[in-house]
């Protein structure tokens, strides 16, 4: 039986280069805080416990760890000091302890599991995820001899020979829970930055006769995020990963690089997505749906066989049933569209229930706000709403009813009813020419006045 895993997530960094009031680990990637990506990745390992290390006063960061406990690193004295702060919360854990960073959201659960498994197989006291860097200059170097990791040298402390090494430290480390307290206690701060480096645990383990190993990973997983530019680069990398996973699962993307997904976007097979589509948080798309170009969808469910767009916006709380058509320049907000309903163009449906097979004409508005409260519009099944109609909520349109074009509906319409909510047209024969002459003279007078 494999020993249980514990995870320590270091999230006490100030993130000053982000130049933000928002703590670095709470900045979003694919519409999810980066620390939540980290927590999701470690959750796949089914750890016995997860402990977050946060800065003093970082209540919002501590809350982001819930339901996992957090401890406070009272002073920013380095990664070794931060890891040591978590020892009490580990409760004497004797299995492997995985130490990860809250600002490293691209490290996959597969790589984390590889590290833990390698440490178990090699009976290593310390294991580190490493990578071959295109530019190793910012990173600590992994000094490996005959397959054994002897030490990690921080970039600022490396000599000229060590600087030639391109096998670099990712920061992700696995330590034997039976030895971790002793290793952390032995770390000193005799370095350029006068900090307690967690990386020194490697040399300490080797000096005590224990084995240390390095497991190679892909550099793309270990992108640091310390600035807005690096945040953007990580967003790009994560979007590439999400798009690739969606297409591998049977989703068609006409121009993948223009489709923006959220971490929780759920796309069934045989979904087709046109160019320049954005999915905000909380979107679920069933199979055989077509999302045409320039749509924005957030917090909504789209049912099987629906067609959406182009240029449609579907806002949170909306539910689009099977075979619904949502056309160009249609906006839904907290609206339920029944099976086979259509709103093919130029409509705003806010806080509405649209029944099955009902047709919403161009220019229709569900008038949901009276300046003080939001109210619902209910349109039953098989209703026809004519173009340029305003449905002033709260209002109910009964089954099979017909609302004529240009109507303003302020009262309920019974099932099968025909509603006219507009002024009667008045036509005066032969009066167009005199009116045009009058308007033309007025325009000419205004033009002469302007010249003066």
Where in the sequence numbering do the catalytic residues fall?
345
Give residue for tokens 């339920």: 336
Q: With contact defined as beta carbons under 8 Å apart, do 308 and 290 qualify?
A: yes
Neighbours of 57 (CB within 10 A): 9
Q: For 23-35, give the secondary structure using H, E and C.
A: CHHHCEECCEEHH
| Gap between the Cα atoms of 154 and 158, Å rounded | 6
Two tokens, residue 88? 């009490």
| Gap between the Cα atoms of 325 and 342, Å rounded | 5
Beta strands 49-54 and 6-11 are: parallel
| Gap between the Cα atoms of 449 and 452, Å rounded | 5
Name the residue among 367, 403, 406, 409 with its Cα closest to residue 382.
403
User: Measuring CA to CA, how many Å separate 172 from each of 25, 107, 199, 308?
Assistant: 16, 9, 10, 43
Neighbours of 136 (CB within 10 A): 19
Two tokens, residue 117? 């498994």
For 421, the enclosing helix (H) or strand (E) is none
**What is residue 434's three-state secondary structure?**
helix
Instruction: Name 290's bridge partners.
Output: 272, 307
Q: Give backbone dihedrals phi and psi of 19, rounded to 5 degrees, phi first.
A: 50, 60
Q: For 235-293, give the secondary structure using H, E and C.
A: HHHHHHHHHHHHHHCCCEECCHHHCECCCCCEECCCCEECCCCEECCCCEECCCCEECC
């Amino acid at each position: 039986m494999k020993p249980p895993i514990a995870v320590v997530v270091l999230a006490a960094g100030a993130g000053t280069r982000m130049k933000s009031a928002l703590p670095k680990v709470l900045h979003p990637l694919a519409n999810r805080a980066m620390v939540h990506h980290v927590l999701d990745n470690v959750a796949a390992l089914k750890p016995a416990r997860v402990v977050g290390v946060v800065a003093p006063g970082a209540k919002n960061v501590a809350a982001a760890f819930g339901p996992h406990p957090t401890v406070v690193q009272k002073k920013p004295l380095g990664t070794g000091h931060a890891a040591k702060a978590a020892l009490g919360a580990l409760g004497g854990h004797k299995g492997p302890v995985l130490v990860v960073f809250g600002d490293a959201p691209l490290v996959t659960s597969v790589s984390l599991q590889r590290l833990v498994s390698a440490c178990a197989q090699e009976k290593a006291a310390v294991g580190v995820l490493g990578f071959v860097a295109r530019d190793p200059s910012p990173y600590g170097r992994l000094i490996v001899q005959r397959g054994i990791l002897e030490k990690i040298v921080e970039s600022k402390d490396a000599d000229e020979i060590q600087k030639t090494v391109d096998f670099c430290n990712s920061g992700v480390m696995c330590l034997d829970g039976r030895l971790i307290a002793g290793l952390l206690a032995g770390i000193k701060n005799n370095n350029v930055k006068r900090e307690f480096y967690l990386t020194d645990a490697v040399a300490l383990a080797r000096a005590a006769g224990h084995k240390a190993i390095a497991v190679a990973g892909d550099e793309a997983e270990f992108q640091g995020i310390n600035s807005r530019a690096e945040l953007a680069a990580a967003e790009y990398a994560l979007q590439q990963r999400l798009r690739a996973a969606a297409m591998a699962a049977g989703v068609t993307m006409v121009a993948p690089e223009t489709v923006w997904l959220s971490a929780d976007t759920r796309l069934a097979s045989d979904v087709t997505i046109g160019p320049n589509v954005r999915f905000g948080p909380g979107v679920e798309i069933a199979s055989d749906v077509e999302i045409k170009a320039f749509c924005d969808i957030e917090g909504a469910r789209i049912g099987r066989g629906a067609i959406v767009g182009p240029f449609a916006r579907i806002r949170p709380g909306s539910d689009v049933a099977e075979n619904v058509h949502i056309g160009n320049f249609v906006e839904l907000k907290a609206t339920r569209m029944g099976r086979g309903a259509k709103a093919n163009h130029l409509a705003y449906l806010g806080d509405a229930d649209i029944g099955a097979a009902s047709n919403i004409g161009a220019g229709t508005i569900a008038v949901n706000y009276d300046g003080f409260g939001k109210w619902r519009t209910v349109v039953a099944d098989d209703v026809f709403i004519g173009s340029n109609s305003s449905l002033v909520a709260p209002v109910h349109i009964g089954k099979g009813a017909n609302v004529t074009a240009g109507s303003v509906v302020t009262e309920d319409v019974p099932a099968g009813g025909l509603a006219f909510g507009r002024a009667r047209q008045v036509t005066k024969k032969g009066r167009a020419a005199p009116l045009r002459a009058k308007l033309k003279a007025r325009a000419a007078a205004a033009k002469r006045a302007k010249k003066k």
